């Protein structure tokens, strides 16, 4: 409790506000934490960034419209990248990414995973005179929404968070040591590697290759949208992959519309209009 109240003196506010107005997050000592009288967890990286406890090589700030790929290590580590803040076109809104692991001060936490918060800076400014009540500056993104439970809010390998209001996607690609490899990209951007099933929500215009298929067993569904190039690169490039599905795409004006090279097994191409003259397939079947 002392740690919690001390946090307020640093202008740290209750995170939560997802299912309850206040408190409600086990992941933050300046929320409910693990309960009074229990081992208290760390505070969220948003607060550590705000107070410059994490700086330099400990953290990275991704500008609005930017991308990031790298390993985010647990808050309980003493070195390595431990915080990512993604800015958005709205100067007040950002997202933070952190890895939490039940050990040391975080030993009361329920699992090892990736936590994502949406931060609204304007709420911080509104609350300077109202420190204990009101809206939360940082709200956890619940990976299992609607269940009135934030203990399972963490993301694990293979899971993805997509926010179409801000056109961002965050993939948890793999575990690397005790950290997680994060792939953060802008929805509908070009030149990106896809690791998860992806749906386009509008047409895209690309300089060079639009999409690299980065994992097996994934689907790109353009939902009828058009991918337009500048006569260079590939619309969709898949090399040494299994079970890639591309559907509902209109692909035009690339050097090659689709290149599937050594991409084997049950790939599917459905409802595709490719206006480029060259399609390049080297398909291995078992």
Residues that bind Ca ion (CB under 5 A): 142, 144, 147, 149, 152
Q: How many C-alpha atoms does 2 have within 13 Å on its Cβ side?
A: 0
Identify which of residues 153 and 204 has a Cβ nearer to Ca ion in the complex: 153
**In 68-197, beta strands by DSSP E:** 68-72, 83-87, 93-100, 113-120, 138-140, 160-163, 168-176, 179-186, 192-194
Least Cβ distance, residue 18 to Ca ion (angstroms): 8
Least Cβ distance, residue 209 to Ca ion (angstroms): 37
Which residue, chain included where needed, has tokens 């040494």?
A: 240
Q: Closest CB to Ca ion belongs to which residue?
A: 144
Least Cβ distance, residue 243 to Ca ion (angstroms): 30
Least Cβ distance, residue 261 to Ca ion (angstroms): 40
Identify which of residues 144 and 223 has a Cβ nearer to Ca ion in the complex: 144
Least Cβ distance, residue 145 to Ca ion (angstroms): 6
CA distance 64 to 8: 29
Structure tokens at 196: 């998860």
Identify which of residues 32 and 186 has a Cβ nearer to Ca ion in the complex: 32
Identify which of residues 150 and 227 has a Cβ nearer to Ca ion in the complex: 150
Instruction: Give the DSSP H/E element, type plus range, for residue 204.
Output: strand 204-205
- Please give the C-alpha separations between residue 135 and each of 17, 121, 139, 268, 272, in angstroms, as whole numbers: 7, 11, 9, 47, 46
Identify which of residues 149 and 261 has a Cβ nearer to Ca ion in the complex: 149
């Amino acid at each position: 409790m002392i740690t919690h109240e001390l946090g307020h003196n640093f202008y740290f506010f209750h995170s939560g506000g997802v299912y309850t107005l206040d408190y409600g997050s086990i992941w933050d000592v300046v929320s409910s934490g693990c309960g009074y009288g229990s081992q208290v967890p760390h505070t969220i990286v948003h607060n550590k960034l705000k107070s410059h406890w994490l700086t330099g090589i400990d953290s990275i700030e991704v500008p609005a419209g930017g991308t990031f790929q790298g390993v985010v290590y647990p808050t309980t580590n003493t070195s390595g990248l431990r915080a990512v803040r993604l800015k958005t076109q709205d100067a007040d809104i950002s997202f933070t990414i952190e890895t939490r692991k039940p050990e040391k001060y975080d030993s009361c936490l329920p699992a090892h995973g990736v936590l994502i918060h949406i931060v609204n800076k304007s709420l911080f400014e509104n609350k300077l005179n109202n420190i204990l009540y009101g809206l939360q500056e940082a709200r956890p993104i619940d990976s299992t929404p609607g269940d009135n439970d934030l203990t399972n809010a963490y993301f694990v390998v293979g899971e993805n968070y997509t926010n179409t209001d801000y056109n961002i996607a965050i993939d948890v690609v793999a575990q690397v040591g005790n950290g997680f490899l994060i792939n953060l990209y802008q929805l509908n951007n070009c030149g990106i590697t896809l690791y998860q099933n992806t749906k386009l929500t509008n047409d895209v215009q690309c300089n060079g290759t639009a999409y690299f298929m980065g994992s097996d067993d994934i689907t790109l569904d353009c939902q009828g949208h058009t991918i337009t190039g500048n006569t260079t690169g590939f619309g969709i490039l898949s090399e040494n992959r299994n079970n890639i599905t591309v559907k509902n795409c209109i692909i035009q004006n690339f050097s090659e519309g689709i290149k599937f090279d050594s991409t084997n097994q049950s790939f599917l191409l459905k409802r595709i209009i490719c206006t480029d003259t060259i399609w390049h397939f080297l398909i291995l079947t078992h």
